[in-house]
Chain A
Amino acid sequence: EPEVTQTPSHQVTQMGQEVILRCVPISNHLYFYWYRQILGQKVEFLVSFYNNEISEKSEIFDDQFSVERPDGSNFTLKIRSTKLEDSAMYFCAPQAPGEETQYFGPGTRLLVL
């Protein structure tokens, strides 16, 4: 199972602040996915990213969210102006060619106060 790291592991921020969550894949991943899990709820798809552009995004992924892979390695999720309801675990799940599914990173726990 490919190992994926995410930073930070925890982040506490004030409402309205910008946060950047990072995912560092270990392999030659081409497809990248972000998911969100509000405490006690199911995992929800946010966005998929392939060939340096968004493939699909959910209704959750509004104008406050953006993703990019600035240096060809790290994959980032940015929330421009956080809201209380953005408090959740955020998981990165890259997928490499030839792999038929995704492996989840350990997640970033975001708390918006």
Chain B
Amino acid sequence: GQQLNQSPQSMFIQEGEDVSMNCTSSSIFNTWLWYKQEPGEGPVLLIALYKAGELTSNGRLTAQFGITRKDSFLNISASIPSDVGIYFCAGQNAGGTSYGKLTFGQGTILTVHP
């Protein structure tokens, strides 16, 4: 089946630093999504990318959809303690019986030291 490789697995940074994480896939997705998950809660959508090459920002977050539709990155600028959590990338299919199905990366655990 489809698999996403997400890296790094974990990051330990100081408050104020910038963060970058990325996902690659062997297959094409129509949509790339980035979610954040905090302990005991469901994933919360941060950014959705719909077009190859698209660069989208949401506050301090910036994400890009790779030209090949097989990769994406997420940047967080000027990190703050509340950025702590697990960040997941997810690829979404658009057609056929797999419509809407999300395939998730393994997650990046982000720890921010004040």
Q: How far is the CB of A44 from chain B (nearest CB, A)?
A: 7
CB within 8 Å of A: which of B28-82?
31, 33, 35, 40-45, 48, 50
The closest CB in chain B to the CB of A55 belongs to: B97
> Counting CB contacts under 8 A, is A35 at the interface?
yes
- CB-based contact B41/A35 at 8 Å: no
Judge if B113 is at the interface, Cβ distance under 8 Å. Answer: no
Q: Are A56 and B42 in contact (CB under 8 A)?
A: no
User: How far apart are A111's CB and chain B's nearest CB, in angstroms?
Assistant: 13
Tell me the smallest distance from the CB of B3 to a CB of chain A, in Å.
Answer: 10
Contact check: which of A33, A50, A105 meets B42 at CB < 8 Å? A105
In the bound complex, residues from chain A placing their C-beta under 8 Å from that of B41 are 106-107
- Report the contact-size class of chain A (Cβ under 8 Å from the partner): 20 to 34
Contact A104 B42 (CB under 8 A): yes
**Whole-angstrom CA separation of A79 from B44 in the bound complex:** 26
Contacts of B1 in A (CB 8 A): 58
B45 touches A45 (CB 8 A): no
Which residues of A lie under 8 Å from residue B105 when comparing CB positions? 42
Residue of B nearest to A31 (CB): B100
| Interface flags, A19-60, vs B, CB<8A=1, else 0 | 000000000000101010000011111001010000110100
Tell me if A95 counts as interface (CB < 8 A to partner B). yes
A48 to B92, CA, bound (A): 13
Interface string of B97-109 (1 = CB under 8 A from A): 1111111111100
A residues with a Cβ closer than 8 A to B are 1, 31, 33, 35, 41-45, 48, 50, 55-56, 58, 89, 91, 93, 95, 100-107, 109
A-B contact pairs, 25 of them (CB 8 A): A33-B100, A33-B101, A35-B102, A42-B104, A42-B105, A42-B107, A43-B43, A43-B90, A44-B104, A45-B101, A45-B102, A45-B103, A48-B97, A50-B99, A55-B99, A58-B1, A91-B43, A100-B48, A101-B31, A101-B33, A101-B92, A102-B102, A103-B45, A106-B41, A107-B41
- B residues with a Cβ closer than 8 A to A are 1, 31, 33, 35, 40-45, 48, 50, 88, 90, 92, 97-107
Closest 4 CB pairs of A and B: A104-B42, A43-B104, A56-B97, A42-B104
